[in-house]
Amino acid sequence: MAKRPASNSANNPTITPGKISAQPRFHQSAREIQQFGTVTSMQPLQLDEPVRLEMTEQLNLLLADTMTLRDLYKKSHWQVSGPTFYQLHLLFDKHYNEQSELVDTIAERIQLLGGISIAMAHDVAETTRIPRPPKGREEVPVQLSRLLDAHQIIIENVRGLAELANKLGDPGTNDLAVSNVLRTNELQVWFVSEHLVNEPLVEASDRGEAVKKSA
- For residue 196, CA distances in Å to 128, 189, 191 come to 26, 11, 10
pLDDT tens digits along 35-51: 999 999 877 999 999 99
Q: Is the pLDDT of residue 8 over 60?
A: no
Give the per-residue pLDDT at 3: 58
- Mean pLDDT, the chain, whole residue set: 91
- DSSP label at 206? S
Q: How far apart are the first and last CA of the chain?
A: 98
Does residue 7 belong to any structural domain of this protein?
A: no
Helix (H, G, I), strand (E, B) or coil at 22: coil
We report the CATH number of the domain holding residue 84 as 1.20.1260.10
- Is pLDDT of 129 > 90? yes
pLDDT in tens, 146-175: 999 999 999 999 999 999 999 999 999 999
- CB-CB contact of 156 with 58 (8 Å): no
Chain segment 95-106, per-residue pLDDT in tens? 999 999 999 999
Give a yes or no: residue 162 inside a domain: yes
180-195 pLDDT per residue, tens: 999 999 999 999 999 9
Q: Which domain holds residue 147?
A: 49-195
The answer to whether residue 36 is domain-embedded is no
Separation between Cα atoms, residue 88 and residue 193, nearest integer Å: 12
- Collapsing DSSP to helix, strand or coil, 156 comes out as helix
Q: Is residue 32 part of a domain?
A: no
- Residue 55's identity, in one-letter code, is M
For residues 198 and 141, is the Cβ–Cβ distance under 8 A?
Answer: no
Residue 208 in any domain: the answer is no
Q: Is 115 contained in some domain?
A: yes
Residue 8 forms part of a structural domain: no
Secondary structure of 99-152 in HEC code, one letter for each residue: HHHHHHHHHHHHHHCCCCCCCCHHHHHHHCCCCCCCCCCCCHHHHHHHHHHHHH
Tell me which amino acid residue 88 is: L
CB burial string 159-182: b at 16+ within 10 A, e below = eebbebbeebebeebbebbbebbb
Give the pLDDT mean for 74-99.
97
How many domains is the chain built from? 1
Give the whole-angstrom CA distance, residue 102 versus residue 50. 25
Helix, strand and coil percent figures for the chain, each rounded to 5: 60, 0, 40
What pLDDT is recorded for position 42? Answer: 78
**Average pLDDT rounded to a whole number, residues 71-83:** 97
Residue 203 lies in a domain: no
Kindly list the distances between the CA atom of residue 161 and the CA atoms of 49, 61, 89, in Å, as whole numbers in the listed order: 17, 10, 32
